Amino acid sequence: MLMRLLLISNSTNAGEAYLEYPKHEIGKFLEGIDEAMFVPYAAVTFSFDEYLAKVQARFAEIGVGVRSVHRESNPAGALRRARAIVVGGGNTFRLVKTMQEQGLMQVIRERVPEGVPYVGWSAGSNVACPTICTTNDMPIVEPASFNAAGLVPFQINPHYLDAHPDGHAGETREQRILEYIAANPGMYAVGLREGCMLKFEDGVLTLMGARPMRIFRHGENPYEVNPGDDLSFLL
C-alpha cells in the first residue's frame, strides 16, 4: 500500500517550542523529500504568512523547505504537484471550508493514496478522517459539509483530555465522543492524547508517543491501547 500518513495530536507540548516534540518524527517521515506544500487555512487570529514563517523555521531544522498554497495562483494545482502535503492545526471549520472552496480536499483524496506523504497536526489530523465531527473546535464558519478526506476509516479526537475539572458542569470529552458514536454506531473514534501521533506506513497503523490512546465504539466500553499494540482493527 502506497499511502503514508503522520497524524499528530498537537503541534506543541506545554512549555516547549513550536513543533518541538514531533519535529524529529516528521523529519524521519519526510526523509528524502526536500520540499513540502503547506495548507495554513486553520489560522484565524494570525495571518497565513505568519503561520507559514513558523512552519518554515521549524522544518528548516529537518532540511525540508515549505511553500504554502495561499501564495499560489492555483492552490489545487500546486497541491497536486506537491512532493509532500502538510496541513496545520487551528480551527477545523475554517480549514475545511477553505479547502472545499479551493478543491484541495479532492486533491488530497486523489494524491495521498498514490503515495504523496501527508502530515497533519490537530485540525490537520481531523482532515484525514471521514468527517470533522470529532473536532474540538467551535464552528465559526460553515463549510459545505462535514466531510473530510477520508484517508482513514475512523474518527480522531486530537488533544484528547481525561480531565473533568471541579465545578465544571458541562460534558467531558469522553461524553461528547460517546454522543458521536451513539449517533454513528458503525464508527470507531479514537482519543489521541497530546504528545502522541498515529503513523500509517506499509499498510500498518502505529501509535507513537508515551501515552495510551482511548478507543470508542458504540456498544462497547471505552478502552485503552498502548504504543506497540495491534491497531489493525481500526482499518
Domains of the chain: 5-234 (3.40.50.880)
As a whole number of angstroms, the distance between CA 56 and CA 133 comes to: 30
Contact 11, 89 (CB under 8 A): yes
pLDDT at 225 over 70: yes
Which pLDDT belongs to residue 168?
A: 73
Catalytic residue among 125, 137, 168, 232: 137
Tens digit of pLDDT for each residue in 10-68? Answer: 999 999 999 999 999 999 999 999 999 999 999 999 999 999 999 999 999 999 999 99
| Pairing mode of beta strands 188-193, 155-160 | parallel
Average pLDDT, the chain: 96
Tens digit of pLDDT for each residue in 10-25? Answer: 999 999 999 999 999 9
Q: SS3 for 181-233, per residue?
A: HHHCCCCEEEEEECCCEEEEECCEEEEECCCCEEEEECCCCCEEECCCCCCHH
Catalytic residue among 159, 166, 218, 229: 159
Decide if 122 is catalytic: yes
As a whole number of angstroms, the distance between CA 221 and CA 216 comes to: 7
Decide if 47 is catalytic: no
Going by pLDDT thresholds of 50, 70 and 90, the confidence category of residue 223 is: very high
Catalytic residue among 11, 68, 122, 125: 122
Decide if 70 is catalytic: no
38 contact partners, CB below 8 Å, separation of at least 6: 51, 52, 55, 66, 67, 68, 69, 86, 87, 88
